[in-house]
Amino acid sequence: MRDVAVIGIGMNKWGEVWEKSISDLIAESALLALDDAGLDKVDAMYIGCMSSGLFTDQEHLGSIGPDYAGICPTPGTRVESACASGGAAIRSGFLHVASGASDIVMVVGVEKMTDVDGAKATFALATAADQEYEVFHGVTFPGLYAMMANHHMNKYCTTRDQLAQVAVKNHKNGKLNPLAQFQMDVTLDQVKNAVMVSDPLTILDCSPITDGAAAVILCPADKAKSISKKRVVKVKGSGHASDTIQLAQRKDLSYLKSTEIAAKKALEMAGRKIGDINFAEVHDCFTIAEIMVVEALGAVEVGKGGPATMDGVTAVDGKFPVNASGGLKSKGHPVGATGVAQIVELVKQIRGTAEKGRQVKNANIGLAQNMGGSGASSVVHILEGE
């Protein structure tokens, strides 16, 4: 396999984007990435998207992508793995280049979620859970993650303040990110006293409904310097794993085995240990998710994710900075785009170009973790600067 590098990134402002279609979002991020790379064409395109048919009535994104980006007849392929669609698309593009099948591959992640009402959005997102044994009985994703949170709190004495601190930290970071959906601070009391969604999770423990897209361009590492004048950022490791789609079938409700396995695979490929990682972007779809992810990655001891968050370990200036972008909680969560946006953020940090003072010091090796559903699928990538 060939070494692979990222030579272009692009991301639009996320939020409730009423004036643009899903096709517009794809095109905008794709053109930004092409401009960043100094290119006007690519050899292939992957589009990560969870549920464009239910959100916008538009399928066939493998054609929409090249068409609206103005790069036909480039072949396009849609990739779906629920909320891990973006990460899975990055992995597909990475393997495409690494295999030698093509030299220049673009990966776009996208979701347009606000064209439907809340009930329809809930229905669309619920397709990532087990329809027969979870959704049929009325369980939603806030409900599933609330079960995980309660289990973690009972097993490890994780506190409500520790959960809320995840939101406080990530909103503090997102306030400095001009592309984030919610650029505002929140306090512990605001998080805890917000509208209850599923006990113990309030609305400020939950990631929002978001419109947005992000794009990345990959090429063989030995050609990167001849194409781009920017710092070369290599994809050193990629790992992918699954778990039971039903939360009830897992051995431990508050442990993400798929993340553990995907991270081990990515770290092994990269020839690294978790202690070598300078910073991470992880899937904080709910505040409890970030706590469980940092434990599954091995960044902190299992059961200690809550205290580590409260003690500042995962702050931008902490020992293991997590979600300097604001994460899903503040930056937003257009489900198919999240995994690609994480790679955009890793590249920004490694290049040293993160905006407005949220730059992580000595950011040379970054990790991105993107997962689908309640952790039924997980993708982890390791990026490193030269």
What are 76's strand-pairing partners? 45
Indicate which residue of 49, 83, 206, 285 is catalytic: 83
Q: How far apart are the first and last CA of the chain?
A: 19
**Cα dihedral angle (191, 197, 198, 202), rounded to 10 degrees?**
0
HEC readout, 300-326: CCCCCHHHHHHCCCCCCCCCCCECCCC
Question: Can 240 be counted among the known catalytic residues?
Answer: no
Measure the CA–CA gap between 134 and 232, rounded to whole angstroms: 45
Angle of CA points 260, 199, 202, to nearest 5°: 85
What whole-number distance in Å separates Cα of residue 319 and Cα of residue 314? Answer: 7
Q: How far is CA 105 from CA 42, 56, 91, 94, in A?
A: 6, 26, 11, 8
83: annotated active-site residue: yes
Helices and strands in the chain, H and E counts: 14, 11
Set 96, 151, 333, 381: catalytic member: 333
DSSP character at residue 80: -
> Of 22, 101, 34, which Cα lies nearest the Cα of 65?
22
Strand, coil or helix: 132 = coil
- Which position has the token pair 């306030």? 175
Tokens for 380, please give them: 């982890």
What is the set of active-site residues? 83, 333
